[in-house]
């Protein structure tokens, strides 16, 4: 509440001769109030549901609920502007400046599409620079920008809940389930951007193209790219945002569940990127001349992210640039390819870890549990994938993972394929006929990228299926297979058993 009061005091110093137009006492609709308002007037709206699509028409006025005068947040949910799925709910499209203010409403059921010159399902900012303060922007559909669409607009977006909006259009890739910024430099501060989605496209939470927004003190959570494209939390292309004091968590997409950078230079300061999910780069995906700068004083945290391919679950760098990652907390102190993957060089400076790595041999049984210690047959892990994620393997720490007399597959023990092997790590089965890695005709089973000093022994690798290398796929790797049987592995290109 202190923050709200402070912001309101800064923003709403009403001119002494300004008129307050009460809705519905003075005018029956909000739009009628806007029609008769002049510069610096306030249209003050009583609680209720108003089925309207309003346009500020270039007027630098305040349109607000009674929250403005009472600072009672209950009025935000009680005062509803419902677009009835006919158009954007609120439009700023005539060069409104920062004294045009929308404050204290629930904005819902808007519908906007760029094809019809409408951006932003909830709020459309087109060549304008308004303040959007303390609103609930929910259940809107638009593209670009399910909740808010900014085009050539430097809006100030503070204190809003932007939730359950959808970026959707029938004719192109969608952009920005929550907020879309195109050629814009908005201030996005103290917002919750949650559970927004895309039908097909990029940026479930925030989409940035040719934009340099300040994103500060926000929570970006639960956003989703339904078709698993890039940047479920934040997507940046040709942009240079500053992201400070932000939590990006539990978002789901294909490339970069948390953040995706393409040809973008970003400043990251005290940002926590955790528990996001992606096909590649569950936390962050970086490509094409992108060079994120991690603040060395107010450090970020990157941990607990997941990836389908178990390669670069926290960080995936698809470029040859040098990336310097300076963080307070990372998933582990000594990241391997499970946690990060890069075609270039990544330099880590990590102070703390989320998970302590094991410096010992570990044991895996389909009857085990990934909450076990993994340090003996009496306390084994359940999956090989998890064991690889927990072990520290490098030139000074060469360890083995021992597999029980079991079948390891998706159906038997929730094994995840492909299994990305590490350098200086051996996988040792209990017997060629009794330890079976079974891909169930869905995946490559073992994959090796830049791996050396690895030995696979005493097991059967079977029922792999892939474009090439369905049993084992090697790239720039040296691996020794001893007493290993490859059986029934199928490729529709080359290397049914092994592709090197």
What distance in Å separates the CA atoms of residue 200 and residue 117, rounded to the nearest whole number? 20
- Asked which of 76-90, 172-186, 474-488 is least confident by mean pLDDT, the reply is 172-186
Q: Residue 16 has what DSSP assignment? A: T
Element (H or E) spanning 63, and its range?
A: strand 62-65
Between CA 106 and CA 81 the distance in angstroms is 6
Q: What is the pLDDT of residues 370-382, one digit of tens each?
A: 999 999 999 999 9
Percent of the chain clearing pLDDT 90 (strictly above): 78
pLDDT in tens, 188-237: 999 999 999 887 778 889 999 999 999 999 999 999 986 657 878 999 99
Domain ranges in the chain with CATH number 2.160.20.10: 362-499
CB–CB of 159/128 below 8 Å?
A: no
Q: Across 154-221, where does the E strand assignment appear?
A: 156-158, 161-163, 166-167, 174-175, 179-182, 187-189, 192-194, 197-198, 201-202, 206-209, 214-216, 219-221
Angle in degrees, CA 239, 244, 247, rounded to 5:
105
Mean pLDDT computed over every residue of the chain: 91
The answer to whether residues 101 and 131 touch, using CB atoms and an 8 Å cutoff, is: yes
What is the value of pTM for the model shown?
0.92
Whether residue 250 has pLDDT greater than 90: yes
2-353 CATH? 2.160.20
Residue 10: which residues within 8 A CB-CB, separation 6 or more? none
Query: CATH number of the domain at 362-499, please?
Result: 2.160.20.10
Alpha-helical (H) ranges within 337-460 are 384-390, 410-413
């Amino acid at each position: 509440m202190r923050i709200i009061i402070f912001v309101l005091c800064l923003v709403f110093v009403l001119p002494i001769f300004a008129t307050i137009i009460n809705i519905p006492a003075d005018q029956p609709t909000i739009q009628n109030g806007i029609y008769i308002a002049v510069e610096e007037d306030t249209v003050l709206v009583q609680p209720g549901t108003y089925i309207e699509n309003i346009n500020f028409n270039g007027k630098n006025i305040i349109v607000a609920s009674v929250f403005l005068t009472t600072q009672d947040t209950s009025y935000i949910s009680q005062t509803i502007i419902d677009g009835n799925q006919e158009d954007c709910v609120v439009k700023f499209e005539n060069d409104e400046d920062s004294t045009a203010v929308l404050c204290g409403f629930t904005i819902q059921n808007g519908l906007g599409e760029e094809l019809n010159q409408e951006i932003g399902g909830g709020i459309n900012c087109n060549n304008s620079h308004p303040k959007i303060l303390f609103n609930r922007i929910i259940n809107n559909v638009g593209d670009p920008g399910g909740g808010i669409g900014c085009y050539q607009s430097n809006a100030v977006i503070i204190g809003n809940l932007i939730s359950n909006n959808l970026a959707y259009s029938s004719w192109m890739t969608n952009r920005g389930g929550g907020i879309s910024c195109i050629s814009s430099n908005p201030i996005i501060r103290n917002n919750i951007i949650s559970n927004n989605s895309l039908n097909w496209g990029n940026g479930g939470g925030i989409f940035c193209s040719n934009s340099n927004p300040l994103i500060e003190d926000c929570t970006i959570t639960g956003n989703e790219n339904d078709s698993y494209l890039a940047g479920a939390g934040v997507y940046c292309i040709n942009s240079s945002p500053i992201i400070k004091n932000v939590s990006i968590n539990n978002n789901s997409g294909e490339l970069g569940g948390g953040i995706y950078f393409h040809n973008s230079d970003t400043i990251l300061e005290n940002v926590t990127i955790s528990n996001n999910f992606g096909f590649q780069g569950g936390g962050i995906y970086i490509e094409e001349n992108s060079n994120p700068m991690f603040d060395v004083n107010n450090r970020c945290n990157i941990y607990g992210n997941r990836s389908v391919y178990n390669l670069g679950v926290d960080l995936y760098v698809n470029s040859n640039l040098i990336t310097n990652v300076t963080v307070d907390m990372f998933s582990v102190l000594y990241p391997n390819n499970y946690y990060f993957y890069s075609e270039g060089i990544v330099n880590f400076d990590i102070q703390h870890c989320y998970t302590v790595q094991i410096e010992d041999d570990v044991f895996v049984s389909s009857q085990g549990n990934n909450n076990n210690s993994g340090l003996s047959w009496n306390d084994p892990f359940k999956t090989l994938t998890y064991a690889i994620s927990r072990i520290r393997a490098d030139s000074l720490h060469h360890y083995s993972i021992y597999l029980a007399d079991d079948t390891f597959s998706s159906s038997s023990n929730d094994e995840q394929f492909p299994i990305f092997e590490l350098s200086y790590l051996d996988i040792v089965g209990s017997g060629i006929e009794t330890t079976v890695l079974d891909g169930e005709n869905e995946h490559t089973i073992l994959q090796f990228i830049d791996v050396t000093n690895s030995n696979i022994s005493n097991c059967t690798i079977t029922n792999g299926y892939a474009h090439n290398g369905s049993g084992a796929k090697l790239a720039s790797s040296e691996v020794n297979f001893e007493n290993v049987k490859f059986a029934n592995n199928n490729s529709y290109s080359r290397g049914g058993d092994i592709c090197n």
